[in-house]
A and B are shown apart, each in its own frame.
Chain A
Amino acid sequence: AQSVAQPEDQVNVAEGNPLTVKCTYSVSGNPYLFWYVQYPNRGLQFLLKYITGDNLVKGSYGFEAEFNKSQTSFHLKKPSALVSDSALYFCAVSSLFSGGYNKLIFGAGTRLAVHP
């Protein structure tokens, strides 16, 4: 079965420190991995995705994520956190076997809290 795990319900980090939001996945076939951010009472905003090629993917707002095939992980990172990064972050995966029409499988979400 296809699945995504975000092991941390919440991540707390001080402003200016590096942040990591963890994601691991389980899919059949090649994984296509996505990160989205959700601010209160809003839809999801696309941050970045990994399809193929370089394992380090750079995205919006200074975020990046590293695809690690052996560990089946796709952790989201940022070198220096901002208070405005505080939000709910979702990891998602699709594959040729996750269902037709690019069906995305979402993790449970991780709340990031950046403290001044």
Chain B
Amino acid sequence: GAVVSQHPSRVICKSGTSVKIECRSLDFQATTMFWYRQFPKQSLMLMATSNEGSKATYEQGVEKDKFLINHASLTLSTLTVTSAHPEDSSFYICSARAASGGLPSTDTQYFGPGTRLTVL
């Protein structure tokens, strides 16, 4: 159980185009999903917290107009990188919080396999 998928796994696009990445919880409902960015040989950087039916909460320094997040259902969140540039090239990982009925801070986040974005 607790499987999270991401699509696509790899995308190459031209500078100036937009790219959409999907994150799905396959066997559980996730009221909260998270989007991370990971640079080579570095830890994960939280970009935003996505809550079903409401606006995402962005971390400091993350441009909300550039990284559009939509969480339209309990099993799907999308990240759209708008007007992508080469500096947006990175590994993007989503996670979904599996609610256990206790404190949210104690819940486990399950991660997707990641999306490698390359902007030419």
List chain B positions with a Cβ less than 8 A from chain A: 2, 4, 6, 32, 34, 42-44, 46, 49, 51, 57, 91, 93, 95, 97, 102-114, 116
Contact = CB atoms under 8 A, between A and B. Distances in A.
Interface stretch (A16-24, A79-87, A100-108): A100-108
Contacts of A41: 91, 114, 116
A95 B105 contact: yes
A55 to B, nearest CB: 16
Contacts of B2: 46
A42 B93 CA distance: 9
Contacts of B110: 46
Nearest to A48: B108
A41 B114 CA distance: 7
A90 B109 contact: no
A102 B105 contact: yes
Given A43-B6, A96-B103, A101-B32, A106 B111 contact: no
A45 B105 contact: no
A42 B49 contact: no
18 contacts: A32-B103, A32-B105, A34-B109, A41-B91, A42-B114, A43-B6, A43-B112, A43-B114, A44-B44, A44-B93, A44-B111, A46-B2, A46-B110, A94-B105, A96-B105, A100-B49, A104-B34, A109-B43
Contacts of B113: 42-43
